[in-house]
C-alpha cells in the first residue's frame, strides 16, 4: 500500500511544477480540529474545486481550501485529471508569483486522499460579495485603490518570462484584506502565454465543463426515475 508521501511525490512530480519543499506542510488532523471538523459555520466559500473554511491555527487566522475528491472507477477516492491539472497550476503559480497583489500560499496538506491548500485569510472576502452588498457600499476611493491594485497584480503576471495568463480574472477572484488591499486568487486556469505576441485568446477547459454537465444530467435522470 502506497504511503501519503508517495501520493505527494506523484502530484508534484510533474516537470512543469516547481519544487515545493519551501512550502510548509500542515497536518490534516490539526486543520480538521481548527475548523471544528469542517463545521459549516466556518465555511466562507465553495466552488467546483473545493470548499474554503476560516479557522484559527496557532494564533493565526487562515483560510483552508479543502479539495473535493471523487470516487471514479477506482476503489478509493482520488483527484480526477481535471482536478489534478488545476491543483498543479495553483501550486505552480502561487508558489512562484510573490507579489503584494497576488494571494499568498501559506501551506499545503497532502495526506491521501485528503488535499488542502492554506492561504492568508482575507478579512473583507471577495470583491464580488462586496459589490453585491447595499450597505456599506464601496466608496470611490476604495474602488480606485482596488482597481489599481488588481491591475498591478495582472501587470506583474504578464511581465513574467514567459507571461502568466490568469485566464479567470473576475470580481469573485479578487479578494480584499483588512486594509481593502486587493489580491488575485484562484490560479486553476492559469497558463503560460507567448512572449512574442501581445494578445492571446484563452478558453475554459471544456472537459471540466463537460464533466460537470454530465453530473447534472445524471442527477436529473435519477430525480425523474424517483
pLDDT tens, position by position, 73-126? 554 556 667 777 778 777 878 777 889 999 988 999 988 788 899 999 999 999
Burial class (CB in 10 A: 0-12, 13-18, 19+), 206: exposed
Percent of the chain with pLDDT strictly greater than 90: 43
The stretch 59-69 carries a mean pLDDT of 91
Topology (CATH level 3) of domain 4-120: Phosphorylase Kinase; domain 1 (3.30.200)
Distances (CA, A) of 156 to 65, 98, 151, 153, 201: 25, 9, 9, 5, 19
Residues 58-73: what's their mean pLDDT?
83
CB atoms within 10 A of CB 80: 15
Residue 161: exposure state from Cβ atoms within 10 A (0-12, 13-18, ≥19): exposed
Residue 173, Ramachandran bin (φ over 0: left; ψ between -120 and 50: alpha; else beta): alpha
Region 133-161 average pLDDT? 91
More confident residue, 82 or 8: 82
Q: Which three cell numbers stand for residue 111?
A: 495526506
pLDDT at 7: 44
Model pLDDT for residues 194-210, shown as the tens digit of each residue = 766 666 665 555 444 44
Confidence of residue 193 (pLDDT cuts 50, 70, 90): confident
What is the reported pLDDT for 176? 96
Backbone angles phi, psi at 94, to 5 degrees: -70, -30
Residue spans per domain, the chain:
4-120, 127-206
Which residues are bridge partners to 43 per DSSP?
53
Domain 127-206 bears CATH identifier 3.40.50.2300: no
**Comparison of pLDDT for 11 and 27, the residue scoring more:** 27
More confident residue, 93 or 217: 93
Which residues lie closer than 8 Å to 36 by C-beta, 6 or more apart?
Answer: 42, 55
Report the pLDDT value the prediction gives residue 50, as an integer from 0 to 100. Answer: 85
pLDDT of residue 222: 44
Active-site residue identified among 14, 22, 41, 168: 168
Angle at 91 between CA 76 and CA 181, to 5 degrees: 130
Region 11-27: mean pLDDT is 61
What percent of the chain lies above the pLDDT cut of 70? 71
Residue 14 a catalytic site member: no
- pLDDT score at 125: 92
Sequence-distant (≥ 6) Cβ neighbours of residue 70 within 8 angstroms? 77, 78, 79, 80, 83
* pTM across the whole model: 0.74
Per-residue confidence (pLDDT) for residue 92, from 0 to 100: 79
Identify the pLDDT of residue 217. 52
Stretch among 56-60, 93-97, 159-163 having the lowest mean pLDDT: 93-97
Amino acid at each position: 500500500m502506497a504511503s501519503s508521501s508517495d501520493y505527494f511525490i506523484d502530484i508534484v512530480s510533474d516537470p512543469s511544477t516547481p519544487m515545493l519543499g519551501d512550502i510548509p506542510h500542515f497536518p490534516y488532523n490539526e486543520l480538521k480540529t481548527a475548523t471544528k471538523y469542517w463545521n459549516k459555520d466556518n465555511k466562507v466559500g465553495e466552488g467546483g474545486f473545493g470548499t474554503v473554511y476560516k479557522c484559527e491555527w496557532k494564533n493565526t487566522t487562515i483560510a483552508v481550501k479543502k479539495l473535493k475528491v471523487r470516487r471514479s472507477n477506482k476503489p478509493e477516492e482520488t483527484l480526477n485529471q481535471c482536478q489534478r491539472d488545476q491543483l498543479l497550476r495553483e501550486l505552480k503559480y502561487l508558489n512562484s508569483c510573490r507579489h503584494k497583489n497576488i494571494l499568498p500560499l501559506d501551506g499545503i496538506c497532502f495526506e491521501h486522499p485528503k488535499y488542502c491548500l492554506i492561504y492568508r485569510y482575507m478579512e473583507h472576502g471577495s470583491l464580488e460579495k462586496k459589490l453585491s452588498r447595499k450597505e456599506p457600499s464601496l466608496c470611490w476611493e476604495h474602488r480606485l485603490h482596488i482597481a489599481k491594485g488588481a491591475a498591478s497584480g495582472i501587470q506583474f503576471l504578464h511581465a513574467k518570462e514567459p507571461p502568466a495568463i490568469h485566464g479567470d480574472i473576475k470580481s469573485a477572484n479578487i479578494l480584499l484584506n483588512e486594509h481593502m488591499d486587493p489580491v488575485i486568487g484562484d490560479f486553476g486556469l492559469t497558463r503560460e502565454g507567448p512572449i512574442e505576441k501581445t494578445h492571446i485568446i484563452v478558453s475554459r477547459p471544456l472537459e471540466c465543463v463537460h464533466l460537470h454537465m454530465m453530473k447534472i444530467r445524471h442527477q436529473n435522470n435519477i430525480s425523474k426515475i424517483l
